[in-house]
Amino acid sequence: MELHHIRYFVSVARHQSFTRAAAENMVAQPSLSQQIRRLEEELGAPLFDRSRTPVRLTEAGEALLPHAEAILRQVEAAKAAVEERLGLRTGRLVLGSLPMTGSRVLPRVITAFRRRYPGIQVILREESTQRLTELALAGETDLTLTTLPLGSPGLLAQPLLTEPILLALPPDHPLVLEVTGPTGVRPVPLSAVADEPFLIMKPGYGFRDLVLEACRAAGFVPQIAFESAQIETLQAMVAAGLGVTLVPEMAADRSLRPAPVFVPLAGDPLTRTLALAWRRDRPLPRSAEAFLRLSSELWPL
């Protein structure tokens, strides 16, 4: 029984939903469900009644819940005791981040960090991938949320999570009718949109390089119709029928009206891996080490 199994179990029990628990823990729902099943296999009993909506605890789940909550409280108390002895009472932590990615990943971990270390000031710098690499190498940030591979051999990184990349299509695109069925949306090869106008990030953003490389691997050079520094702008333009784009799963904005149709890609999985990076030749401040430890707890690989 691993600690993240306990954390996921308590989260599902609290929300009565695998979907909301996965969102809270910033993991894909299939991954969270798999971890819960491993816990159930270890215990030899189902913990949730999945036939009901919302999901409910079984008798075994009801028996486990108070113990699981107590374990999490004890773990937090143990960490607090150690950190109090280490003296992380004051200081500051400078984080670099991509704006799009940081807005979806960092609030959760910063909230947990400030709860645990209320005396540490957290400073956030949002820049392009290229600029973030420059700041990290110059020692102007302690940790940087970025994507792998790193932009310089002078940096080290701790991976956080890997997410799929989706194809965003206008809602009235002919492909939408072809791929949408009663069982959901089926994957399509990226080459299916080789002749479409592409909307991509401006130079200096790592996601632009990922898109261009994916198109090259699919056998074509994209016809770039528009560039932006904001993935939200690109999605709004896709929704308006001005072209297609690729979007990280966590950034897919389904709240737009109309919204793009997000389609999984066929073939070898196209993903991006987020990581926290720092300068190789510079000792990490204790506040940054604490942030890395906390991030590993929230996103166990």
Note the pLDDT tens digit of each residue in 64-75: 999 999 998 888
- Whether 200 shows a pLDDT value over 80: the answer reads yes
Q: Are strands 180-181 and 271-279 parallel, antiparallel or unpaired?
A: unpaired
Residue 236, both tokens: 């709004």
pTM of this structure: 0.69
The answer to whether the CB of 188 falls within 8 A of the CB of 263 is: yes
- Would you state the structure tokens that stand for residue 153, as one six-digit string? 């051999």
What is the pLDDT at residue 86? 66
Q: What is the mean pLDDT of residues 178-191?
A: 84
Q: According to the model, what pLDDT value does residue 237 have?
A: 96
Residue 180 is predicted with a pLDDT of 80
CB 147 within 8 A of CB 207: yes
Q: What is the pLDDT of residue 80?
A: 66
Res. 143: pLDDT tops 90: yes
Nearest to residue 9, comparing CAs of 52, 77, 75, 62? 62
Please report the pLDDT score of residue 138 as a whole number.
87
**Which long-range CB contacts under 8 A does 41-48 form with residues at least 24 apart?**
42/1, 42/5, 43/1, 47/9, 48/12, 48/13
Share of the chain above pLDDT 70, in %: 97
Mean pLDDT of all residues in 154-178: 92
